[in-house]
Amino acid sequence: MNKILLVGLIGILSAWVTILISALLNPWFSITHNALSDLGGGGPQYEHPYPTDPLVYNGGLIITAIIIFIFSILVVKYSRNKVEVVGGSFFMISALFLALIGIYHEGTYPHDFVSLWFFILASISYLTISISLILTKKFWKRGILLISIIFISWILFTVIPWQSVAESEIFGISIIDICVILHGLSFNQL
């Protein structure tokens, strides 16, 4: 297994472990009624109890962001063209926004902004990386697959009547995970 894929998988695992542990610490949490950020802040004014140990969720997001940042540095270091450098750089910025979600947890003014922009920047990143893979010619099919996944996911995101914010967030995280894995697999020489 190459080191870029390995770091990507560690980041994916970190995110899901953070969500799972936080949900287990908060038995009131429901995927069909809450937002994931309810695990890191808010309270009765957001129609849920105060979270138990919100540092688990918020700190886990920050740790995951650091791992994603390292993944992005490796993408830039081993990039195959300038477009991939740009895509990796956008992913670094999305990692910063993920950390900001942990810093500006639910109940703080910038929370909604940083949460939304994490997903937007991750999408922009992987659209750019998709183009870079098409330009490498060796991975053009994978690039087309990634672009297709991103466009279809945004269409699905807008047309599916999600029961909760958590459901749409889990969908978005899963799409990012798929992109990271498919991209990481393209670095088979490391």
Instruction: Give yes or no for a contact between 105 and 58, defined as CB atoms under 8 angstroms apart.
Output: yes
Q: Is 137 left (phi over 0), alpha (psi -120 to 50) or beta?
A: left
Burial (CB count <10 Å: 0-12, 13-18, 19+), residue 77: exposed
Residue spans of the domains in the chain: they are: 3-185
- The whole-model pTM stands at 0.95
Give per-residue pLDDT as tens, 30-48: 999 999 999 999 999 999 9
What mean pLDDT do residues 161-181 have?
97
What pLDDT score was predicted for residue 189?
Answer: 63
Give per-residue pLDDT as tens, 108-166: 999 999 999 999 999 999 999 999 999 998 999 999 999 999 999 999 999 999 999 99
What pLDDT score was predicted for residue 137?
Answer: 87
Give per-residue pLDDT as tens, 63-98: 999 999 999 999 999 999 999 999 999 999 999 999
Instruction: Give yes or no for a contact between 39 and 29, defined as CB atoms under 8 angstroms apart.
Output: yes
pLDDT at 4 over 70: yes
DSSP 44: G
What pLDDT score was predicted for residue 96?
Answer: 98
How far is it, in rounded angstroms, from Cα 60 to Cα 163?
25
How far is it, in rounded angstroms, from Cα 76 to Cα 58?
27
Which amino acid appears at position 68 of this protein?
A: I
The owner of tokens 């991939």 is 84
